[in-house]
Structures are given as structure tokens and as C-alpha cells.
């Protein structure tokens, strides 16, 4: 049977590549749209090693509308688009706001224009729990209030969600979801794909594994004087493979709908873990003492956030299956594979 084509923007990136694997496993044909500004050219081959199928690649910037229209038209019937392509470093976004607004907002606008031009109905948008800021009530649900974003990055996610909703209101037959990720971590158990932060990692888990492998001298824990049981911040860490599977579930949810829709889903585990809990769990998995010190708080950090995932469970028929231990084990195996293959 002919596989349905799904355009995956940013499909050579961290979450995008894991999602391409799960789309192939579910019988779809993902087509990667990526300009490789924040991903590696060898990723499509790695997806082939895992699944036996190498996704075709359109090497373009999502904001290059005219070239994009020509390239995607040539692909024939596209069943849906999953839009990952975006810059996502909170700190960097405060230093380079115009790059973030242009890349993240213009790209999403261009993709929505493409959908209108080619009558593509199904759209899955990669959003973030960042839109909630510091929630007043936990766990946070999809109806929790949206707080003023703490960074240009978070603001671009809020703007893009509004963009999609306005487009949906203007167009009867768009079927779209915004997926609000909590903290994606881990790697594919094959250690063939995983997180490849460019330069010094912003995020906790890659910083932990790079410290453990000797790439970084020491992990700084940004503050242990917060109002939490052990004083360190709490997050909802979700295995990237579980997260990838949620995108297959989301597309299926859209395909089953006979009418236009726009909906929002939290993608997390529903539980929170502190920074120290993550570090201690890693030390047990890696059977080593991690070199870390307690430093000052990081500006913009929220204290505690974790998801209410009942809506995703009930409507997407999806829930996480993998644990923090699974994610840290897979992250550590991936880091060790990078050292063996001498990939930086």
C-alpha cells in the first residue's frame, strides 16, 4: 500500500529525527525539510540504519516560500506537515531576538501559506510548556493561563500558536494541533540518533552526559535554594521516543476528524523530578560520581512545572511508557557512542 507522505520540517533535528523513525514504523513516508543550520547531514542515513528506510530530504529554509512551494509541489500529495524547524535556546533568544522572530515566526507563516496553496489539511506544531511561564497551579493543564513569556523564544511559540488559531478561524478545513512539550531528554535506544547540541549545551541532561564523558569539567547546578523538597528546580522530563510517538498519535487524531479543528495538548510524563534527582539517578545508571557544584540561580528559570497529561491520554490515546531511568540510560549510551565515533 502506498505510504502517506508527511513533510517533517526540522526533520534532521533532535525531536524531528526521532519522529521520522516513528512515522516510518507507523507506515508513513516522512519527507525531511531541513536547512541543516542546527542538525547534521548524516541523520537521514542513521534513520535508514534504524528503520531500513532513508527519508528524502528537501534542503531548504522554511521561510523561503517560493522555493518551498516549488519543491513541495513536486513531491505530489502531502498528507500532513509536522513543523519542528525553529531556534530553541532560551538564553540565545534574549541575545538574538530578531533571528528568533524571523526564523520561528516567518517559517511558521511560510508553512501555513504552503498548506493553503497546496490544500494540505493536517498540521502538527511543535510548541512548548514555556508558554505557561511559572504556573500558579500544578500540574498544568492545557487550560492553564498563558503567562507573559520569559524570553523571545517563548514569545515566538505563543505568537505561532496564535498564528495557527487565526488561520484556523479563517479557513474552515484546517485540522491542526499545537503540542506543548515539557522537557525532552534521552536518545534512541540504538544510539544512532540523539541530541546534538551545538557548542556548550544549555540543557541539563546533555550537560550531565558531556561532564560524565569528560567534555565538560564540571556541572553547575543553578541554585539549590528554591522552594522545593531538595531546593533545586522541578521539571517534567519526557523520553524523546515517547514524545516522537505522540506526533504519530496526533496526526492520526487529525486524520480521523471529519471537520476542521484546532486543539492543544500537553506532552509530558505527568510527574516532576528535581535537578538533584536527575543527577543522582544518572550517577546510579552510569555507576559514577558526577562532578558538580551548586552555583547561583539562572535568570528566567521557573521553579516548578509538570504536566497534567489526561487530555493527551484520553483524546490522543497516548501516554509515556519510558522512565527517567530509561531516558538517562539512553542519553548516556548516546554520549558514549559520540565519543567512540568521534562526532562533535
Q: Does 235 bind ligand WQD (CB under 6 A)?
A: yes
Query: Would you call 310 helix, strand, or coil by DSSP?
Result: helix
Question: Nearest approach, Cβ of 89 to ligand WQD (angstroms)?
Answer: 7
Site string for ligand WQD, 270-289 (x = CB under 6 A): -----x--------------
Query: Would you call 185 helix, strand, or coil by DSSP?
Result: strand
The residue (of 50 and 205) whose beta carbon lies closer to ligand WQD is 205
Annotated active-site residue in 100, 153, 207, 262: 153
Query: Which whole-number Å values give the CA distances from 102 to 86, 90, 269, in the listed order?
Result: 10, 15, 32
Binder of ligand WQD out of 14, 23, 167, 207 (CB under 6 A): 207
Question: Nearest approach, Cβ of 190 to ligand WQD (angstroms)?
Answer: 23
User: What strands lie across the sheet with 56-58, from one edge to the other?
Assistant: 56-58, 29-33, 5-9, 80-83, 122-128, 175-181, 261-267
Binder of ligand WQD out of 140, 179, 221, 316 (CB under 6 A): 221
Provide, for the chain, the percentages of residues in helix, strand and coil under a 3-state DSSP scheme, each rounded to the nearest 5: 40, 15, 40
- Specify the stretch interacting with ligand WQD by CB under 6 A; choose among 67-75, 98-106, 220-228, 264-272: 220-228
Question: Nearest approach, Cβ of 293 to ligand WQD (angstroms)?
Answer: 10
Q: For residues 87-116, which are near ligand WQD according to CB under 6 A? A: 88, 90
Burial of 130 (0-12, 13-18, 19+ CB in 10 A): buried
Q: For residues 40-59, which are near ligand WQD according to CB under 6 A? A: none
- In 84-218, the DSSP E strands lie at 122-128, 175-181, 183-185
Residue count, binding to ligand WQD (CB under 6 A) = 19
Residue 28 appears among annotated catalytic residues: no
Backbone angles phi, psi at 127, to 5 degrees: -110, -165
The residue (of 4 and 245) whose beta carbon lies closer to ligand WQD is 245
Closest CA to 320 of 260, 271, 268: 268
Query: Which whole-number Å values give the CA distances from 190 to 47, 142, 183, in the listed order?
Result: 10, 33, 21
Cβ atoms 322, 239 nearer than 8 A: yes
Q: Does 298 bind ligand WQD (CB under 6 A)?
A: yes
Binder of ligand WQD out of 160, 204, 250, 316 (CB under 6 A): 204
Q: Does 319 bind ligand WQD (CB under 6 A)?
A: no
Question: Nearest approach, Cβ of 88 to ligand WQD (angstroms)?
Answer: 5
First to last CA, the chain: 40
Binder of ligand WQD out of 112, 233, 264, 322 (CB under 6 A): 233
Active site residues: 153
Contacting residues toward ligand WQD, per CB under 6 A: 88, 90, 128, 130, 181, 183, 202-204, 207, 219-222, 233, 235, 275, 298, 301
Amino acid at each position: 500500500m502506498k505510504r502517506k507522505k508527511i513533510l517533517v520540517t526540522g526533520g534532521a533535528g533532535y525531536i524531528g529525527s526521532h519522529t521520522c523513525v516513528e512515522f516510518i514504523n507507523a507506515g508513513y513516508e516522512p519527507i525531511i525539510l531541513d536547512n541543516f543550520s542546527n542538525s547534521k547531514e548524516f541523520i537521514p542515513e542513521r534513520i535508514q540504519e534504524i528503520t531500513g528506510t532513508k527519508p528524502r530530504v528537501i534542503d531548504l529554509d522554511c521561510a523561503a516560500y517560493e522555493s518551498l512551494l516549488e519543491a513541495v509541489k513536486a513531491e505530489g500529495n502531502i498528507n500532513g506537515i509536522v513543523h519542528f524547524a525553529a531556534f530553541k535556546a532560551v538564553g540565545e533568544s534574549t541575545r538574538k531576538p530578531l533571528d528568533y522572530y524571523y526564523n520561528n515566526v516567518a517559517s511558521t507563516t511560510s508553512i501555513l501559506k504552503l498548506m493553503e496553496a497546496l490544500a494540505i489539511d493536517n498540521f502538527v506544531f511543535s510548541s512548548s510548556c514555556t508558554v505557561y511561564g511559572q504556573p500558579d497551579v500544578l500540574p498544568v493543564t492545557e487550560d492553564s493561563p498563558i503567562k507573559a513569556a520569559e524570553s523571545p523564544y517563548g514569545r515566538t511559540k505563543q505568537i505561532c500558536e496564535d498564528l495557527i488559531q487565526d488561520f484556523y478561524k479563517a479557513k474552515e478545513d484546517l485540522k491542526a494541533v499545537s503540542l506543548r512539550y515539557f522537557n525532552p531528554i534521552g536518545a534512541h535506544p540504538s544510539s544512532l540518533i540523539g541530541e546534538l547540541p551545538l557548542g556548550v549545551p544549555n540543557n541539563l541532561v546533555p550537560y550531565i552526559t558531556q561532564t560524565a564523558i569528560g567534555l565538560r569539567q564540571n556541572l553547575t547546578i543553578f541554585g539549590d535554594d528554591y522552594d522545593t523538597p531538595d531546593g533545586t528546580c522541578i521539571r517534567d522530563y519526557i523520553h524523546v521516543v515517547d514524545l516522537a510517538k505522540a506526533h504519530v498519535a496526533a496526526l492520526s487524531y487529525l486524520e480521523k476528524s471529519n471537520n476542521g479543528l484546532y486543539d492543544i495538548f500537553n506532552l509530558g510524563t505527568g510527574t516532576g523530578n528535581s535537578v538533584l534527582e536527575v543527577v543522582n539517578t544518572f550517577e546510579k545508571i552510569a555507576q559514577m560520581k558526577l562532578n558538580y557544584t551548586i552555583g547561583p540561580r539562572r535568570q528566567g528559570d521557573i521553579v516548578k512545572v509538570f504536566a497534567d497529561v489526561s487530555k493527551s491520554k484520553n483524546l490522543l490515546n497516548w501516554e509515556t511508557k519510558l522512565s527517567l531511568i530509561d531516558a538517562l540510560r539512553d542519553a548516556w549510551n548516546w554520549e558514549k557512542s559520540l565519543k567512540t565515533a568521534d562526532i562533535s
